[in-house]
């Protein structure tokens, strides 16, 4: 009876302590994150219609290159998603950021560990003795000041920033591919024009030489015709180098060796979309790099709280149990519990 009274007394003191502990665990040290306040005027004097910015970086961009109506460009865009090494690196960084969130969340839960040991020692004249043990350990850091929760918050913001970086890298690579592709096609058109010009100047040179041989033209006419032909031939060589450079750049973007990648010249039939003279400023809301910068600021804000929580004492609960015995056959028996 006396033991029960003592136990009740302990419980009366323990219950308020547990309640206070739970209340403390619900608070978090450090500033709460708020998006930067921007002073917005009631109206702009230059225009009467305006809207408040609403981030839309997660909006799907879709296959925007289809507006050009070029099947080969669409095929290359698919290869960028599959084979580009820079995009794969961005995807790996995003996977790492997601794993960091899981790692930070793990700090909110107890840590369990198990161990086993076997040994043999000599005790003077008494001979040798064996020892066996099997233990299970548990520890849990109570997040009184919100340090772990702030780290989870920072990791989650970092994951969102990494996702925006991935989308930004994909969009940038696609835009670079489209630019290089159209430059290559324009180079093909220019080269066709120069080839026709070379043929025309070669014909002019033959005519000038025939006239000079017949004595009806001066030597200067032949020299001038040769100069014009050589100049156009040099321009044609420059275009060949430019085309090879663009072709190699496209090979790198689609993740293929430059020596094994070739884009055959074709007739340029791209359908250019109609671009309006002005674009709405709301397009800025879809920029993933802007969203990534804002998420990194949120992560830095959360890490401030984690750093401030380090000024306060931490509370950890730990315990261990198991079995220890000098006989392996009797290890897991009640008398050998520790």
The pLDDT profile of the chain, 338 residues, written as one tens digit per residue, is 444 444 444 445 444 554 454 444 455 667 777 777 777 666 666 655 666 667 677 777 788 888 888 889 999 999 998 889 899 999 999 999 999 999 999 999 999 999 999 988 877 666 778 888 999 999 999 988 889 999 999 999 999 999 989 988 999 999 999 999 999 999 999 998 988 898 999 999 899 889 888 888 888 988 999 999 999 889 989 999 999 999 999 999 999 998 889 888 888 777 777 877 777 777 887 888 888 888 899 899 999 999 999 899 988 999 999 999 888 888 898 888 99
Q: For residue 2, give both structure tokens.
A: 């006396």
Domain residue spans of the chain: 64-105+117-336
**Distance (Å, whole) CA 120 – CA 15:** 47
- The residue among 93, 87, 250, 245 whose CA lies nearest residue 171 is 87
Through-space distance between the first and last CA atoms of the chain, rounded to whole angstroms? 28
Architecture field, domain 64-105+117-336: Up-down Bundle (1.20)
- pLDDT digit string, tens, across residues 179-200: 999 999 999 999 989 888 989 9
Phi–psi pair at 315, nearest 5 degrees: -125, 125
**Distance (Å, whole) CA 200 – CA 229:** 9
**Distance (Å, whole) CA 164 – CA 170:** 10
Rounded to two decimals, the pTM is: 0.70
- Which residues have CB under 8 Å from 22's CB, separation 6+? none
The residues that bridge with 131 in the sheet, in sequence order, are: 119
């Amino acid at each position: 009876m006396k033991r029960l009274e003592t136990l009740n007394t302990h419980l009366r003191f323990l219950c308020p302590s547990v309640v206070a502990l739970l209340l403390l665990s619900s608070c978090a040290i450090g500033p709460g994150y708020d998006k930067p306040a921007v002073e917005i005027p009631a109206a702009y004097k230059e225009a009467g219609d305006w809207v408040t910015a609403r981030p839309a970086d997660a909006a799907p961009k879709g296959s925007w290159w289809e507006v050009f109506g070029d099947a080969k460009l669409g095929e290359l865009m698919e290869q960028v998603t599959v084979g580009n090494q820079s995009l794969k690196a961005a995807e790996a960084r995003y996977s790492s950021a997601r794993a960091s969130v899981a790692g930070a969340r793990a700090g909110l839960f107890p840590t369990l560990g198990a161990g086993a040991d076997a040994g043999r020692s000599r005790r003077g004249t008494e001979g040798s003795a064996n020892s066996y043990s099997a233990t299970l350990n548990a520890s849990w850091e109570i997040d009184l000041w919100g340090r772990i929760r702030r780290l989870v918050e920072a990791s989650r913001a970092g994951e969102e920033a990494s996702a925006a970086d991935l989308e930004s890298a994909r969009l940038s690579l696609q835009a670079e591919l489209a630019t290089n592709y159209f430059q290559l096609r324009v180079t093909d058109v220019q080269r066709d024009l120069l080839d026709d010009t070379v043929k025309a100047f070669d014909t002019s040179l033959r005519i000038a030489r025939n006239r000079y041989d017949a004595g009806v033209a001066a030597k200067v006419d032949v020299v001038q015709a040769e100069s014009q032909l050589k100049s156009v031939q040099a321009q044609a060589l420059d275009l060949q180098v430019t085309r090879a450079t663009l072709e190699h750049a496209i090979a790198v973007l689609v993740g293929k060796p430059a020596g094994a990648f070739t884009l055959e010249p074709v007739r340029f039939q791209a359908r250019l979309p109609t671009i309006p003279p002005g674009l709405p400023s709301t397009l800025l809301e879809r920029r993933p790099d802007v969203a990534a910068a804002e998420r990194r600021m949120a992560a830095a804000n959360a890490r401030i709280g984690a750093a401030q929580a380090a000024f306060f004492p931490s509370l950890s609960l730990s315990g261990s149990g198991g079995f220890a015995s000098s006989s392996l056959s009797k290890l897991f028996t009640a008398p050998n519990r520790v």
